[in-house]
Amino acid sequence: MSNIQHTILEWYDQNKRDLPWRNTKNPYFVWISEIVLQQTRVHQGTPYFYKLIEAFPSIDVLAKASEQDVLSAWKGLGYYSRARNLHKAAQEINLAHKGVFPSEYLSLKKLPGVGPYTAAAISSICFNKAVAAVDGNVIRVISRLLDLSDPVESSDMRRTIIEFANEILSPTRPGDFNQAMMDFGSMVCKPKDPSCPYCPLAHMCRARINQTQQLRPVKKPKKKAVNRFLIFKVHFNKGKIRMIQQQKGSIWEKLFVFPYDEFSTEAAFFTKIKQEPQVIIDRAIHVLSHQRLHYSVVIVQEDVPSAGNMWFPIEKLYDLPTPILVPRILSRIENHLVPLFKC
């Protein structure tokens, strides 16, 4: 185990990525970075890290912000439950911990949106607690080192990986070691093209010895994406567009989208499109992690005066907390809308 510790840390000291959140031990900034990087690549998440810490430079500022402001700052990152949990966790830290970030792994894990990996990362990096942070990169490295042939999602394999990660963890530099394993998985032990000829652990890697590295980790087959069929309706009146804030249970909870009708079958969807008098996007597809949204966009002119806070000038739509699909639709239909507003 000491050989792995020494090799990984030596590699890290020479090759670690220069990331903005690594220049601080401030748990607030490290926490923000970890939440942003859930389901998001580093190069995509880095601008949002800067944006969030500029908008909310402390736990207190984040806790006292409105949920809509937090969702607006998060706009474009997707998986908006992360933003809602970020806001809830800041409020909990302010209330239950008097604004002081908890240092213990178990206390961190109780915060909304903070799972075992994030709690381990924060406690080890910021407070030098010896807890292994096991993310997808670490799972891949260990499954190859041990040449694990069962799906890594199984409880037995998960337990084996976590136990091994804690066995090889450096007790003196746990934060550095956790980050080293993440970098090593991202830069050397890559998913599709591992750099085995240059890997300092190659002589210890059972998958490399058995020539099974391309087969590891073994994963369960992904569930087939669900197809949904939507017609978005762009209601406009007196220079404003109607938007609907989605309620709990929607994939777009608390976000604003165009009103829409959903159809249970593709045939019903196509039939309805043919009946619409003003179709501006005939058919398009928006792919989510577990859903494929087949959609059309139509224009509907309202005859009643626009009232209430669900009507917005077109230029204000870009400032609302919306799923990324809304600005994508707007960019395609804006040329159609401008002449209508001049009428």
Q: Which residues are catalytic?
A: 34
3-class secondary-structure state, position 36: helix
What are the helix (H) ranges across the chain? 2-15, 27-36, 42-55, 59-64, 67-74, 81-96, 105-109, 116-127, 136-145, 155-168, 174-187, 206-210, 266-275, 325-342
* Residue 29, C-beta contacts closer than 8 angstroms, at least 6 positions apart: 21, 53
> Closest Cα partner for 150 from 205, 194, 142, 189?
142
3-class secondary-structure state, position 30: helix
Q: By CB neighbour count within 10 A (0-12 exposed, 13-18 middle, 19+ buried), where does 55 fall?
A: middle
Contact between 118 and 31 under an 8 Å Cβ cutoff? The reply is yes
What are the helix (H) ranges across 245-293? 266-275
> Closest Cα partner for 324 from 256, 260, 227?
256
CA distance 20 to 293: 36
Angle between the N-to-C axes of helices 2-15 and 174-187, in degrees from 0 to 180, rounded to the nearest 10: 70
